[in-house]
Chains A and B, each alone.
Chain A
Amino acid sequence: MPTFKLDDRDIEFQPGDTIIQAAHRAGVDIPHYCWHPGLSVAANCRMCLVELGPPPGRGPLLLDVLRYDAKTGEYVKTKKPKLVPACQQPLTEGMEVKSQTSEHVAEARAAVQELLLLNHPVDCPICDQAGECRLQDYWLSHGANKKRMRDEIVHKPKAVSFGPTIVYDAERCIVCTRCVRFCDEVVGDHVLDKRERGNLSEIVLAPGRQLDHAYTLMTEYVCPVGALTAKDFRFKARVWFLRSVRSVCVGCATGCNSYTDFDPRNQTVYRYRPRDNERVNKFWMCDEGMLDYRRIHTGRVLAAQAGGKQVAVDAGLDAAADACRKIDPNTSAVVLSAQHSNEDNFALLQLAQRLGVTRLFLSGRPEGEGDDILRSEDKNPNRTGVIGLCGLQTPGSFKDFAALAEQGNLRTVLALGSDAELPDRASALSKIESLVTIATHQGPFVKAARVVLPASSWAECDGTFVNRDGIAQLSERAVRPQGQSQPAWKLVAGLASRLGHDLGYKRVADVQAALAPQERSGAAVQEAGATA
């Protein structure tokens, strides 16, 4: 592989790479605002200017400039190198690039930084971007100078609603056009553009339109400053109080890699952010997925129920065990969940095997809208995983299950999850004599159940999900189990032991160890890529 020199470090590059691309891949940050690895090059912020060594056999390209000597009151002739934007300059073998080690670069970047803040309101105390704002970061690292322009700034529209999800503040905007390019290039919806020119420039929403496509929250995500904020997150939390874990979006079968941002003090999840993964979601997530974190705290089953009454989990497990003791393989079934992780489903499969139940079904959330970008019509994160776990015995569909229940042929059913894939067939569940449901959320199965056991959600325990392309991905635990809930595999293990079967699961690692090696092979944690 060819290499180039960035400051004093040799870095490999691929033919066609720009300086910033190769540096980014090598984990070196060249300061930038407008460049984004997933978008076209705009080269308008001028923050990534670097100095190039002279091409072989030629002198450096120098510009004549004058410096004012305050002592003599004279202007002195001098030269400065012509700087180039690292986002635009293609690399050649042996190229020498100075980023951190050039005084000219330092001066130019400090100037750009000062100019970006020239007409900025500096309202960090009330800005949601504070703490993860490039203007703050680069201000600190590029001079940290006091503002020299003490006059009134150029005023522009503030708190403009762009649609159901996004609010725009033109005064905070640095017109880097990332949001415009994202909508154009990734979504293919030219709903944003620039208006006016010069220092009156701002982002404009298409007249007669709203920013309402399926990926609007990504405009906020790519915005390097506080110009675009998400209505959902505005004024909810300060980012420095939040902690992040690497998670996988369970909103659909795509399995977009995400960060779950939560406040450890109140054990509340505040948002998802995309986590770069070239193979799965590149740099993006859809609105549906981004907002799916809300399900962690809404519609939950937080306590066990038995005979219509709330009971302790142990009592619930006892009641469930009572129901299962009478199990007759001919009139019983186990329903697996495409919403739950491999770990949860595997544990349930093990119990089914011990109990001799052979009728397996798979349910999940109903189908929804999909597209060619990220969204799958299958709104379940682990259908592929569960089918894989079942091996040769492909589980039946919810439709088959409902038909069987409708006929009154099911007396005892052990179900994971509360989702009826065909909501209009959910009434069949009432025909089941003894339904034990292990569920995170309220739903038809919970409603019809004799015994309900509260399961922890994906954010409360580690779990492996296999996406539509067969890629197994680990999602890490963010917050503690909510209410009385426990991981579903643990509830299953508790139920098994009451029925005289020791599955041997004490920790999630025990379940994972028991999972077949091929299911786990792809599940190596996707290392978090450097974010743009």
Chain B
Amino acid sequence: MAFALSAEHEKELERILSRYPNKMAACIPVLHLCQDANEHWVSDEVIAFVAERLGLSTAHVAGVVTFYHLFNREKPGKHQVWVCRTLSCALRGSESILRHCEKRLGVHVGGTTPDGKVTLRTSECLASCGSAPMMQVDKTYHENLTIEEVDRVLDDLLKDS
């Protein structure tokens, strides 16, 4: 089924386009817009839509989508959790946080809970080294994590219906 944006999102797309001297430059912001409107993933239909709207080849859009790791080529859970694992966080215990998340959610890194609510991921440095360990949940940073704090955050996600 062909992908389309809501009227409101179409307006946002126009706003994005107005910021750049050409349409191609809008590629990444528009992909974000579409991904958010498509249950957090970029389907072939989304690629076709973006390519068509921006006058690009689908090859170009596919190349862009796969280069940037925040574009999902498969549908993730309702919520996405990224635990930073790079050195500063690792020095402050990110490995324990990650293991705890795995246990708490019952999935391995990269997996989604059976109810489709949470996808657990690792992430490279998220520029939060001074408040390590940290994790990002959807669009929010949770910093200076403790196991208790992680439990609280994950509980909220799992409760969310």
Answer whether A and B touch in the complex at a CB cut-off of 8 Å: yes
List, in ascending order, chain B residues with CB within 8 A of A196's CB. 66-67
C-beta contact mask, B58-99 vs A, less than 8 Å → 1, else 0? Answer: 111011001100000000000000000000000000000000
**Does residue A523 face the partner (Cβ distance < 8 Å to B)?**
no
Contacts A207-B58, A208-B58; is A193 near B48 (CB within 8 Å)? no
What bracket does the count of chain A residues touching chain B fall in?
10 to 19
Query: What residue of chain B has the Cβ atom nearest to residue A190's Cβ?
Result: B57
Task: Say what secondary structure dominates the interface of chain A.
Answer: loop
**Does residue A79 face the partner (Cβ distance < 8 Å to B)?**
no
C-beta contact mask, A193-209 vs B, less than 8 Å → 1, else 0? Answer: 11111000000111111
Contacting A at CB under 8 A, from B25-44, are 44
A206, B65: Cα distance in complex, Å: 12
Query: What residue of chain A has the Cβ atom nearest to residue B66's Cβ?
Result: A195
* A193, B63: Cβ atoms closer than 8 Å: yes
Q: Which one of B44, B48, B56, B66 contacts A204 once the chains associate, using CB atoms below 8 Å?
A: B66
* B67, A209: Cβ atoms closer than 8 Å: no
Nearest chain A CB to B153's CB is how many angstroms away? 30
* A208, B60: Cβ atoms closer than 8 Å: no
* A206, B62: Cβ atoms closer than 8 Å: yes
**Does residue B47 face the partner (Cβ distance < 8 Å to A)?**
yes
Query: What residue of chain A has the Cβ atom nearest to residue B56's Cβ?
Result: A190
**Does residue A349 face the partner (Cβ distance < 8 Å to B)?**
no
* B67, A205: Cβ atoms closer than 8 Å: no
A82, B47: Cα distance in complex, Å: 42
Nearest chain A CB to B51's CB is how many angstroms away? 8
Contacting B at CB under 8 A, from A165-202, are 189-197
* B66, A206: Cβ atoms closer than 8 Å: no
Q: Which one of B44, B47, B48, B59 contacts A205 once the chains associate, using CB atoms below 8 Å?
A: B59
* A207, B66: Cβ atoms closer than 8 Å: no
Q: Which one of A190, A192, A194, A207 contacts B47 once the chains associate, using CB atoms below 8 Å?
A: A207
Contacting A at CB under 8 A, from B1-58, are 44, 47-48, 56-58
* A195, B62: Cβ atoms closer than 8 Å: yes
A197, B65: Cα distance in complex, Å: 11
* A209, B66: Cβ atoms closer than 8 Å: no
* A192, B59: Cβ atoms closer than 8 Å: yes
List, in ascending order, chain A residues with CB within 8 A of B67's CB. 194-197
* B66, A191: Cβ atoms closer than 8 Å: no
* A204, B62: Cβ atoms closer than 8 Å: yes
Contacts A190-B57, A190-B60, A191-B59; is A208 near B44 (CB within 8 Å)? yes
List, in ascending order, chain B residues with CB within 8 A of A191's CB. 57, 59
Nearest chain A CB to B49's CB is how many angstroms away? 11
A191, B63: Cα distance in complex, Å: 11
* B57, A193: Cβ atoms closer than 8 Å: yes
List, in ascending order, chain B residues with CB within 8 A of A207's CB. 44, 47-48, 58-59, 62
* B63, A195: Cβ atoms closer than 8 Å: yes
List, in ascending order, chain A residues with CB within 8 A of B47's CB. 207
Nearest chain B CB to A112's CB is how many angstroms away? 23
List, in ascending order, chain B residues with CB within 8 A of A206's CB. 57-60, 62
A355, B159: Cα distance in complex, Å: 101
Nearest chain A CB to B56's CB is how many angstroms away? 8
* B44, A193: Cβ atoms closer than 8 Å: no
B contact set with A: CB distance below 8 Å? 44, 47-48, 56-60, 62-63, 66-67
With contacts A190-B60, A197-B67 known, what are 19 further pairs, Cβ within 8 A?
A: A189-B57, A190-B56, A191-B57, A191-B59, A192-B59, A193-B57, A193-B62, A193-B63, A195-B66, A195-B67, A196-B67, A197-B66, A204-B62, A206-B58, A207-B44, A207-B59, A208-B44, A209-B58, A209-B59
A contact set with B: CB distance below 8 Å? 189-197, 204-209
Q: List 22 A-B contacts (CB under 8 A).
A: A189-B57, A190-B56, A190-B60, A191-B57, A192-B59, A193-B57, A193-B59, A193-B60, A194-B63, A194-B67, A195-B66, A204-B59, A204-B62, A205-B59, A206-B60, A206-B62, A207-B47, A207-B48, A207-B59, A207-B62, A209-B58, A209-B59
